[in-house]
Structure 1
Amino acid sequence: MSITQKQRLVIKVGSALIAPTACGCSEKYLKNIADFIHRIRQQGQQVVLVSSGSVAAGRYLFNNQQPNLALKKAMAAAGQTEMMAMWDKLLGLPVAQILLTHADLCNRERYISVKDTIESLLDNGIMPIVNENDTVTSEELKVGDNDNLAAMTAAAVDADALLICTDVDGLYDKNPHKFSDAQLLKDVTRITPDIFAMAGGAISATGTGGMQTKIEAAQKATAQGIDTYIINGFKAQSFHYLLEGQNPGTHFVACESPLSPSQHWMTHTTKECGEVIIDEHKDHFAQNSPVITSDDIVEVKGEFSVGDTILLRSCDGTRMAKATANYSSCLLNYVKQQPSIPELVGSLHPQHNSIISKKHFALLENV
């Protein structure tokens, strides 16, 4: 199925397309993207735009070649308004700004709130423009790159396709800038370690992600049944091919048996705050919501509170599952050190006979 047959499309635009010279926003490449958005909207398709570039757009306003973190946040604040004004001008349709941190997506209630807001905007013909909130985000709260943010957004809004516009034609089997015989991969049906090995570093001086983050994004999106395309946004021809139903870049094929939305959110969006090593084998997790008691705990790593996401590992180091913790790391450590107090956890909270939530649980496979 071509991208023109997708009902809901998330389009990610990188910093190199927004501000190719880091001297403010430029219409040079964005005009082609805006025209493409107009065409597919005329066909009845819905579009969510994930736009990088606030720091690159605002950099020219500050006389500092090597800005510190605080100055980058200031650049983002100034550049975001310029970038939104540019999209508003080029698109000529109602747009809405949505600035997110990873904390907004990791919290289930806020995640659903983001989803509902975007749904309401789309239902009313308003195009959401999403970006990471670089002005307020911290190292702990940031996604770090808009490729993965775009994939998380696509999953949240139940998109049919994710289109990542960048400065290369797609994924090559080797670096095309170093090897003349590099071959473009047109279709990737399964993302394996070999596929990740083909990824190089960031080519653009203005971007924060390279091909590695784009493959990570494709892995997240395809796991929820979302076809993902990496195309060269610098070439107007890329969008002509898309409108003709052709693939101008690399198509990552959606999984035939995608994860459920709740499992996908737990697997690919939440960040674990700590780990619990348990004396269990992975086949124990074949059931949907296993019961893990304090007797199963071998070791507790990190600090986490009730409601945080934790990683469950086996004694041999295998990542087995992610789940919401019913108990804090402090209490679980105390229980482990007090063997004379049997099943303290269950006696304190009889409604929770497991250290993990049965509602938010995801078995990890090759993640």
Structure 2
Amino acid sequence: MSMVSLPEHTLPTWRRAVLKVGSNLLAADGGGLTPRYAQRLAGFIDASQRAGREVVLVSSGAVAAGRALLRTRAVPGPELAAKQALAALGQAPMIALWQSLSERPVAQVLLTHDDLRNRRRYLNARATLRELLMLGVLPVVNENDTVAVDELKLGDNDNLAAIVAALVDADLLLIASDVDALYNADPRNNPAAEPIGHVPQLTPRIIAMAGGSGTGVGTGGMRTKLQAAEKAAAAGIPTALFSGRETATVTALEQDRLRGTLIDVAGNRMQARKYWLRHAPAGNGSVSIDAGAVRALTGGRASLLPGGILDVAGEFHRGDLVEIVDANDRPVARGLCQYGAAEVRRVAGRHSRDIATLLGYSYGEEVVHRDDLAIIAGESAA
């Protein structure tokens, strides 16, 4: 795309950023990986680190790298298993590419759905990433495709990058791809499409402008980038969308100039714990509550008590993140459950003082404590 009419903005002040690099910037025309565009982005990372800033890299490309290593033969097995095998095979060359371009040591960090759903593992991942940054290391994050299954996948690295940005308390989310900005129409089909340089707040109208994936190499398109920006904004983190293929664009980043789209944050940062509760992948279980409990949860700082519980669906364990729904299965809240599904079924509808008698023990009067709750009634939890 032409950069002639692309607007330029000053980047927000930042000390720590998450940079997501898409597959289309790493995949070589003949298969495998190429440093053609990655080298410029690595230069930006090095320059940022020399300036006392910290960068976490979320990189795609493992599957493309793995496929290139087996280009002379087909990969047997089901589609998911084949992709997992290619991801496992391609992780090493993908990390080797970034290490070859980086002035500093590179560390691989693979995250799964469960790492982000389990509060303790979430905090462990955050501690590891922060320690790597303190050591001056470049963390390279990816989803652990080798063990993920379709129903438990995070889905794409755009959304993973937004979650990682909140995980490390980043000041800025940078998304580099083969698209230079958000446009008011699809520029591939509409020559009159104009770039949008600044989005003060994501609205349904803005999100509706997004299309699907532009090529067959990556798993995300502009829609996933806006979804990621929405997640980042909920944590108080602005997002910059830009082309990683344009030398002038990447060079401008070193001077805190953005040639692309800046998606701003409306409002203050959400408390980190509440953000995690709203956006981390939930488990397979849910708790249905009555109208009185719905009013109590949505009307103030109330905990979920057993007396308001109508039913339990699925299975979960103590400490798992569960969905809380009303009698019509409409989302009300998400929270960390202090009891497992079998235990909640036994105390449902009963008074809190009966918990110890019914179970023979008690972890407290609340099934979900108010400090472990995030209200989502009337909103999307995505």
Give the TM-score of the pair, scaled to structure 2: 0.87
**CA 1:55–1:330: 2 relative to 1, 3 Å:** same
Which of 21, 39, 49 is the matching residue for 1:31?
Answer: 39
User: What secondary structure sits across from 1:28 in the alignment?
Assistant: coil
Aligned pair 1:165/2:173, yes or no?
no
Which of 244, 263, 276 is the matching residue for 2:255?
Answer: 244
Task: Give structure 2 stretches of 5+ with no counterpart.
Answer: 1-8
- The one-letter code sitting in structure 2 at the alignment partner of 1:64 is A
Which residue number in structure 2 is paired with residue 190 of structure 1?
201
- The one-letter code sitting in structure 1 at the alignment partner of 2:183 is Y
TM-superposition CA deviations, 1:154-190 (whole Å, max 9, x none): 1111100010111111222221111122222222222
**CA 1:272–1:71: 2 relative to 1, 3 Å:** closer
Q: State the Cα distance separating 1:19 from its structure 2 match.
A: 1.0
Which of 239, 247, 270 is the matching residue for 1:228?
Answer: 239
Which residue number in structure 2 is paired with residue 208 of structure 1?
219
Q: State the Cα distance separating 1:240 from its structure 2 match.
A: 2.6
- The one-letter code sitting in structure 1 at the alignment partner of 2:369 is S
Which of 12, 16, 23 is the matching residue for 2:24?
Answer: 16
Structure 2 Cα separation of the partners of residues 284 and 192 of structure 1: 29
User: What secondary structure sits across from 1:19 in the alignment?
Assistant: coil
Aligned pair 1:357/2:365, yes or no?
no
Q: State the Cα distance separating 1:286 from its structure 2 match.
A: 4.7
User: What secondary structure sits across from 2:220 in the alignment?
Assistant: coil
Aligned pair 1:113/2:129, yes or no?
no
CA contact (8 A) 2:212 2:222 kept: yes
Which residue number in structure 2 is paired with residue 291 of structure 1?
303
Which residue number in structure 2 is paired with residue 321 of structure 1?
333
Structure 2 Cα separation of the partners of residues 135 and 43 of structure 1: 36
Q: Which stretch shows the higher mean deviation, 54-63 or 348-357? A: 348-357
User: What secondary structure sits across from 1:353 in the alignment?
Assistant: coil
Structure 1 Cα separation of the partners of residues 119 and 30 of structure 2: 36
Aligned pair 1:308/2:308, yes or no?
no
Aligned pair 1:330/2:342, yes or no?
yes
User: What secondary structure sits across from 1:239 in the alignment?
Assistant: helix
Structure 1 Cα separation of the partners of residues 362 and 346 of structure 2: 18
**CA 1:323–1:118: 2 relative to 1, 3 Å:** same
Runs of 4+ in 1 over 6 A off after TM superposition: none
Structure 2 Cα separation of the partners of residues 204 and 66 of structure 1: 24
- The one-letter code sitting in structure 2 at the alignment partner of 1:295 is G
CA contact (8 A) 1:277 1:298 kept: yes
Q: Which stretch shows the higher mean deviation, 353-362 or 38-47? A: 353-362
Which of 286, 289, 292 is the matching residue for 1:275?
Answer: 286
Structure 1 Cα separation of the partners of residues 91 and 112 of structure 2: 15
**CA 1:4–1:318: 2 relative to 1, 3 Å:** closer
